[in-house]
Amino acid sequence: MRVLGIETSCDETGVALYDTERGLLADALYSQIAVHAEYGGVVPELASRDHIRKTLPLVDEVIKTAGLVKQDIDAVAYTSGPGLLGALIVGATMARSIAAGLGVPSLGIHHMEGHLMAPLLSDEPPDYPFVALLVSGGHTQLIRANAFGDYCLLGESLDDAAGEAFDKTAKLLGLPYPGGPQVARLAEQGNPDRFSFPRPMVKHPGLDFSFSGLKTHVGTCIRDLSSEGALSPKDKADVARCFEEAVVDTLVIKCKRALKQENVRTLVMAGGVSANKRLRERLQSALGQLGAEVLYPEPKLCTDNGAMIAFAGALRLAAGESDPDAPEVRARWPITELEPPTASKKGNQL
Ligand code: KG4
Ligand code: ZN
C-alpha cells in the first residue's frame, strides 16, 4: 500500500510517500523559518497561509520523485493534531480532498505518534515494549509503548517543553528563531563548568519535568553578565553550553529512571530536540553503562516531517482504520487517548 503523508501542524510543510513493501519512496519539506523569523516565533495565521501555498506543490514533487502518478496513491494520512488549529485544518482539508478525488481512504494521525514512529522507520526497528522520550517544541514526555497505539504516559513537563526552553534561551541570548539548533551550535564552543544551572526536578521522585525555572536562571545570569557590559561571544557560548548541559543532564537522569522503573532495555528518542548531538552522545554513553540501548531517527526525521505521518498512517490504514465522514482536527490531544488500530473505526475498505 502506498500512503501519501501530509504534515502541517506548525511551521513546516512536510509531505512524503511511504510504501508498506518498499519503505520510504520520497519526502519533501518546506520550512517556514524565513516567514516567522522577523516576528521571533511562529505566527499561526501566516503559518496557515504558507501551508496553503506549499502543500500541493510538495505533493506533486514527491509523486514525481517517486516516479509515480497520483493514481498510484492508495491512501492519504495527515496530521490531525495536536498543533495550530488553522494549520491543521489546511492539511486535513487538502489531504481529505486529495483522497476524495482519488476515491481512496484518508486518516488523521496524532502528531506525537508520528514522532514516536519515526525511529521505527529504520532498517532495524526496536521490539516492543520500549520507552520513548518525546522532546519537541511543544512536548517533553516519557512514554511506555507496549504496542503500536498502546501508550502509557510515564511523565511529562509541567510547564515549558525542552524545545521551548531552548527557544527561549536563544531569545535571551539574542539568537534568531528557531533557537534550538543555534543554541546547540553556540554551545559547542562553550565551557560547561563556568555557570551552575539547576537540574530541575531530578531530586523529586517520578518522571515529570519542569524547565521554566531553568529559563529564569539563564535570564538572571545573562542580566548579571550584561550589567558589566555587552556579552562577549565567549559569554554567550558559555551560557549556551551550561544551559544545554542542564537540560541534557535532566533528560538523561529521567530516561535512566524510566528504563529502570519499567524494566525495559530500549529507549527511543524523537522530536526536534532529539536532533541535539550532545543529548544523543550523553544518552548513548549513559544507557550503554546500564546495558540498554538508545535509538533515534536520522536528524531530518527528528523534526517535523511528512515521512513519520505517512508511516504511522500506513500502519493504521493497513489495519483497516480510516477517517469518519466528518473532518476531525484537535488543537489539544493527549497521546494516551490513542488505541491500537481497529478496522471498526470506519468501514472504508482498501
Ligand atoms: O518536533 P519539532 O520539529 O516541532 C514540534 O513538534 O514542536 O521540534 C521543534 C523544536 C524547537 O523547539 C527547536 O528549537 C528544537 O526542536 N530543536 C533543537 C534542535 N533542533 C531542533 N533543540 C536543541 N538542539 C537541536 N539540535
Ligand atoms: Zn513535532
Model pLDDT for residues 52-95, shown as the tens digit of each residue: 999 999 999 999 999 999 999 999 999 999 999 999 999 999 99
The predicted pLDDT at position 350 comes to: 47
CA distance from start to end of the chain: 9
* Nearest residue by C-alpha to atom 14 in ligand 1: 180
What SS3 state is found at 18?
strand
41 assigned ligand-binding residue: no
Work out the pLDDT band at 347, boundaries 50, 70, 90. very low
Amino acid at 65: T
Least confident of 54-68, 158-172, 226-240, 314-328: 314-328
> What average pLDDT does range 184-195 have in this prediction?
97
DSSP alpha helices (H): ranges in 208-350? Answer: 212-226, 233-262, 277-289, 299-302, 306-318
Ligand 1 site: residues with CB under 6 angstroms? 10, 136-138, 163, 166-167, 178-181, 184, 271-273, 275-276, 303-304
Residue 9 CA: nearest ligand 1 atom is 6
Please say if the pLDDT value at position 214 is more than 70: yes
pLDDT tens digits along 111-139: 999 999 999 998 889 999 999 999 999 99
Average pLDDT over residues 25-43: 93
CA dihedral 212, 215, 216, 221 (to 10 degrees): 160
Q: Is 263 annotated as a binding residue?
A: no
- What's the grid cell of residue 123? 532498517
Q: Is 180 annotated in some ligand binding site?
A: yes
Centroid of ligand 1 to alpha carbon of 308 (angstroms) = 15
The chain-wide mean pLDDT, for the chain, equals: 94
Could you identify the atom of ligand 1 that is nearest to the CA of residue 303? Answer: 3
